[in-house]
């Protein structure tokens, strides 16, 4: 009996000493960066486009040239998926997108940096417009930065979830970024029953942004590099400028 107890003790001691330490979920520690430059750039771009479109610079109808048009996009006018993100139907539309875009852009920029954030938003918003066009009737037409705004929201939700920024034990906390993003989408992106809100574009913007956010976690080690931020920011602005040059026929 004495040897049996001693053997049990030694087995317990062996298991205790060789027990594998519990591994905590791998998390990404975000590098909080100054997001004001990206938000400022967003405000400047959509404000400048609003003014130039209002005065019909180059004697062009900027709305006809830059809006989402299902027929023309399917015919190859790719730039419309980008230029439509910078057009607005009036002051309330403009102010709303200005405010929400600045808010969500600031939140994303604090984690991903201004340059990377806005490049991801422009690309996600463009892809969202393209997919939404394919899903709807070819006569579908739309304008507005709201698709990009909800791409920024999806970007935050996707990155936060995949990077495990809320990686507590309870599943409710782990799904918090997704649930929160969907709640904001439902609250701000569906509009009233009698409005002309393009719910499909908002949903596609959120989904494309979400995919971008999860993808960026794979390359996050490059994100804090100031050269990456500057190159991404320059690329975001260049894409918009090139798209408008194509829309207005400035290089023809």
The whole-number pLDDT of residue 206 equals 92
The CATH number assigned to the domain holding 158 equals: 1.20.1540.10
Using CA atoms, how far residue 29 sits from 90, 205, 214, 217, 224, in Å, is 41, 26, 15, 11, 11
Residue 82 falls within a domain, yes or no?
A: yes
Q: What is the pLDDT of residue 232?
A: 96
Query: What pLDDT sits at residue 226?
Result: 92
Whole-model pTM: value is 0.82
Q: How far apart are CA 51 and CA 142, in angstroms?
A: 19
Range of the domain at 190: 32-247
- Asked whether residue 126 is assigned to any structural domain, the reply reads yes
Cα–Cα dist 118/148, whole Å:
9
141: β partners: 69
15 lies in a domain?
no
Report pLDDT for 109: 93
| pLDDT tens by residue, the chain, 252 residues | 555 555 555 554 555 555 554 455 455 555 567 899 999 999 999 999 999 999 999 999 999 999 999 999 999 999 999 999 999 988 988 998 999 899 999 989 998 999 999 999 999 999 999 999 999 888 889 998 989 999 998 998 899 888 776 554 454 455 555 666 666 666 554 554 444 567 888 889 999 999 999 999 999 889 989 999 999 999 999 999 999 999 999 875
User: How many angstroms separate the CA atoms of 68 and 143, rounded?
Assistant: 6
- Rounded to 5°, the CA angle 210-212-216 comes to 120
- Residue 210 domain flag: yes
178 within some domain: yes
Asked if the structure places residue 134 within a domain, the reply is yes
* Residue 22 resides in a domain: no
Structural domain count of the chain: 1
């Amino acid at each position: 009996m004495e040897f049996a107890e001693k053997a049990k003790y030694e087995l317990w001691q062996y298991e205790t000493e060789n027990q594998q330490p519990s591994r905590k979920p791998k998390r990404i520690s975000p590098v909080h960066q100054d997001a004001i430059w990206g938000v400022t750039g967003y405000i400047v771009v959509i404000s400048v486009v609003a003014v130039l479109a209002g005065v019909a610079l180059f004697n062009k109808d900027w709305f006809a040239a830059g809006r989402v048009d299902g027929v023309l996009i399917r015919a190859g006018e790719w730039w419309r998926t980008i230029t439509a993100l910078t057009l607005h139907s009036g002051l309330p539309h403009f102010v709303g997108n200005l405010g929400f875009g600045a808010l969500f852009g600031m939140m994303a920029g604090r984690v991903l940096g201004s340059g990377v954030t806005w490049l991801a938003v422009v690309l996600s918003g463009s892809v969202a417009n393209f997919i939404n066009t394919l899903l709807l009737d070819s006569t579908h037409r739309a304008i507005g930065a709201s698709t990009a705004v909800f791409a920024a929201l999806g970007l935050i939700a996707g990155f936060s979830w995949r990077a495990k920024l809320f990686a507590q034990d309870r599943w409710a906390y782990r799904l918090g970024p997704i649930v929160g993003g969907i709640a904001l989408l439902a609250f701000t992106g569906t509009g009233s029953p009698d409005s002309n809100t393009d719910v499909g574009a908002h949903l596609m913007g959120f989904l494309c942004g979400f995919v971008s956010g999860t993808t960026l976690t794979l390359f996050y080690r490059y994100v804090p590099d100031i050269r990456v931020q500057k190159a991404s920011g320059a690329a975001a602005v260049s894409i918009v400028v090139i798209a408008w040059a194509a829309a207005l026929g400035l290089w023809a």
